[in-house]
Structure 1
Amino acid sequence: MTETVDRALMIPNELLIFSAVIAVLILLAAIRQVNWSAIQAHRAAQHMFWGSVLVVSVFWYLRAGIQPGIEFHILGYTALTLMMGWQLALLAAFFVQLLMLLAGKFIWQELAYQYVFFSALPVMFSYGFYLLVYRRMTHNPFVYILVAGFFNAGFTHAFTDIIRSALLLVMELYTPDILWRDYLRYLPLMMFPEGVVNGMFITGMVVFHPRWLSTFDEDSYFR
């Protein structure tokens, strides 16, 4: 916990304030876009939401790292985004970070910072990748699973790691040599399991519960 506090104190106050403002705007936008009447009418959707928060939180809790702020773990946000859509995924990601705060992974001043850069941005990147695949590639389940699921998850993980490295570098918490030696050179090793975990989940959902995937249009993909 001491290392967490020390790292938080090194994050500029301007960045923490900026993160807080952006986090509020993101959450307000997501809340306004959610169809709350549909969520209230379907108890299964509520169970799916909170169950997903808990599962992804386990991935985030079981993190490992050589240096403070340099972390290795499965994100799980691509599966979350494809299942819920960007609106609910952004809200679920906030609760994931809130649980990490309660678990003592960081202090409360870091909540918005952690959410914006390592949750909201990955969710939006993942959804943007999905939209690109949907608009530019053939509509069939194989493309959805492999490209929008597996490859999307891997690239989302790479995007998140690059964002983390850039922030640590700009704040001068680590040198480029340390970031490469202890973090970025392992990027391919983390992209693959991220893709496998998310891809396996998406495969199971497409086969057994395609209607639970808000981004999967059966009429479009099975025609």
Structure 2
Amino acid sequence: MQLPNHLIGLPIASIGWLLAAILTGWAIRAAPWSALRAAPTRIQLFLVATIFLIGMWSLSATLMPGLTLHFLGVATVTLVIGLELTLIAGLIAAILSALLFGHGLAIAGWTFLLSAALPAAITYGITRASQRFLPPNFFIYLFIGVFLSAVLGALAHGGATAILIMALGLYDSDIIWNNYLRILPLLAFPEGVINGMLMTALALVSPQLVISFDDHHYIDGR
């Protein structure tokens, strides 16, 4: 979401930053730093993922102040570098996006929570559930772990953004429904398609880069 600083009060901004700090603190403690040090390529991948998030979030259309449609790309990042590193990359991307595009740092905590943490958690949960309860099939990985999680992440991001906007008292429910929520599904489907295309290419061309994908498990002998 994109709000100028004067449209968000200090208490709401502080709550967003507090929650962002708690999640990022957990991610920093839980991140596989030893594995990163052992494979410098993973560090480069983390930096590329951060830049990728900033680029995806910049592809936006502002319907009304605070009501912005933009791609997320979080499903791909989560599946490639893992949940913990995605949270860290998401906070960096939220801060840099605020500085680069003049959105205001006050809302950056909520930008991280809604544009990164929430869809990342959805992707992680759906992928883990599909790996545990569904057959190890490449198409299940793509359609459930990638496409479905990306679509649901986009819908959850939009719904949570609408709730926050109403909590701030900027617009009433009718305005948000007619000018934002009704249009949201038009973005959710392309979000799934984009992430699906990216993950298909990565899984087939460079499966070693995708932390959530094992080509021997999903493809060999299937």
Residues matched between the structures, number: 219
Compute the TM-score of the two structures, normalised by the length of structure 2.
0.92
- Give the counterpart of 1:174 among 161, 171, 175: 171
- Give the counterpart of 2:15 among 13, 18, 23: 18
| Number of the residue aligned with 1:187 | 184
Deviation at 1:83, TM superposition (A): 0.6
Which structure 2 residues correspond to residues 149-164 of structure 1 after superposition, within 5 A? 149-164=146-161
Match status 1:93 vs 2:90: yes
| Number of the residue aligned with 2:113 | 116
- Give the counterpart of 2:135 among 138, 142, 150: 138
Which structure 2 residues correspond to residues 212-223 of structure 1 after superposition, within 5 A? 212-222=209-219, 223=221
Rounded to whole Å, the distance in 2 between the matches of 1:76 and 1:13 is 29
Secondary structure, counterpart of 1:64 in structure 2? strand
- Give the counterpart of 1:64 among 34, 43, 61: 61
Deviations 1:12-51 (A, max 9, x none): 4222222222111111111111121221232211211111
Deviations 1:126-181 (A, max 9, x none): 21121222222221111001111111111110010000011111222111111111
Rounded to whole Å, the distance in 2 between the matches of 1:4 and 1:57 is 16
Rounded to whole Å, the distance in 2 between the matches of 1:189 and 1:108 is 29
Deviation at 1:122, TM superposition (A): 1.8
Rounded to whole Å, the distance in 2 between the matches of 1:99 and 1:136 is 38
- Give the counterpart of 1:84 among 77, 81, 84: 81
Secondary structure, counterpart of 2:97 in structure 1? helix
Percent identical? 28
More strand by share: 2
Match status 1:102 vs 2:99: yes
Greater shift, 158-167 or 134-143, is seen at: 134-143
Asked whether the equivalents of residues 82 and 214 of structure 1 are also in contact (C-alpha less than 8 Å), the reply is: yes
Match status 1:44 vs 2:33: no
| Number of the residue aligned with 2:145 | 148
Secondary structure, counterpart of 2:84 in structure 1? helix
Rounded to whole Å, the distance in 1 between the matches of 2:202 and 2:43 is 17
Secondary structure, counterpart of 2:152 in structure 1? helix
Q: 1:49 is aligned with what amino acid?
A: F
Rounded to whole Å, the distance in 2 between the matches of 1:187 and 1:110 is 21
Deviation at 1:62, TM superposition (A): 2.2
Compute the TM-score of the two structures, normalised by the length of structure 1.
0.92
- Give the counterpart of 1:27 among 7, 19, 24: 24
Secondary structure, counterpart of 2:184 in structure 1? helix
Secondary structure, counterpart of 2:57 in structure 1? helix
Q: 1:110 is aligned with what amino acid?
A: I
Show structure 2 runs of 5+ residues with no match.
none
